[in-house]
Amino acid sequence: MTWLPFDLHPEYPPEGIPRAQLVARYGEDFHARLQESFAAAGLAYNPPPEVVPNTMRALCVTELARDRGAHATVHDRLMRAYWEEAADLADPDSLVALAVEAGLAEDEAREAIESPAYRERVAGLTAQAHAIGVTGVPAFLLDRRLLVLGAQPRAVFERAVAQLGEPAWGPAENWSDWAEGVAEPPV
C-alpha cells in the first residue's frame, strides 16, 4: 500500500478550526458514530477535543519522510498521535517533536512544515486525486483501475477485488496480498 497526501480541507486556516464547527457541520452524532466504528475495529478514538487541524504541515512532514525513506514510520507516528493521543498536528512545535521522535532531523522537519516545494507536491498530488474522483479520505485506488471511497468494511474490498479479476500486472497469492500491496507490481 502506498499512502499519498490529500489536502482534505485547504480552506482551513493554518491553526485549524474549532471542533465545534465540525460538530455544527456534521451533527452531534458524528463523533459517536466515529467512536463506535473505531471501537468495532479495535482502534482508539481520541482526537484533539478543541481543534480540527489543517493538515498541510503534517502532509509536508510526511513528504520529507518519504524523501528520507521513513514515510511509514512518520505517517504511523502522526496518525497515532492524532487519533490516540489527541495531538494537535497543526501546532508546528508539536509536529516537529513528533517528527523527531519518529527519526527525522529537527531542522529538516521544521523547514519542511513551511516548504514551498513540499506544499506544491501535496497540492499537485491532491489535484491528481481529485482528477480521478477522490473527494475525501480514505480513498483506495485498486490496481490503478477501481476507486473505493471511504472507510469501507472488508466485504466491500473483497467484492471490488473480485470485480477486477486478476490484477493487470499479474496474479497474486490471494486477494489480501494484492489489496494490501504485498504482491508488488513490476516497476
What one-character DSSP code corresponds to residue 151?
S
Question: Contact at 8 Å (CB) between 91 and 51?
Answer: no
Q: How wide is the angle at C-alpha 128 spanned by C-alphas 78 and 17, nearest 5°?
A: 45
Secondary structure (3-state) at 39: helix
Percent of the chain topping pLDDT 90: 66
pLDDT of amino acid 171: 55
How far apart CA 130 and CA 182 sit, in angstroms, is 26
Total count of residues recorded for the chain = 187
What are the φ/ψ torsions at residue 7 (nearest 5 degrees)?
A: -80, 95
Biggest alpha carbon–alpha carbon distance for the chain: 48
What are the φ/ψ torsions at residue 40 (nearest 5 degrees)?
A: -60, -30
pLDDT of amino acid 181: 44
Residue 184 has pLDDT above 90, yes or no: no
Least confident of 50-64, 116-130, 156-170: 156-170
Fold of 17-131: Glutaredoxin (3.40.30)
Spell out a b/e string for 31-51, using b for 16 or more CB atoms within 10 Å of the CB, else e: beeeeeebeeeeeeeebbeeb
Q: Is the pTM of this model over 0.95?
A: no
Q: Regarding predicted confidence, which is higher, 153 or 124? A: 124
Per-domain residue ranges for the chain? 17-131, 139-179
Instruction: Tell me the three cell numbers of residue 34.
Output: 466515529
Residue 54 has pLDDT above 90, yes or no: yes
Cis peptide before 171, with omega less than 30 degrees from 0? no
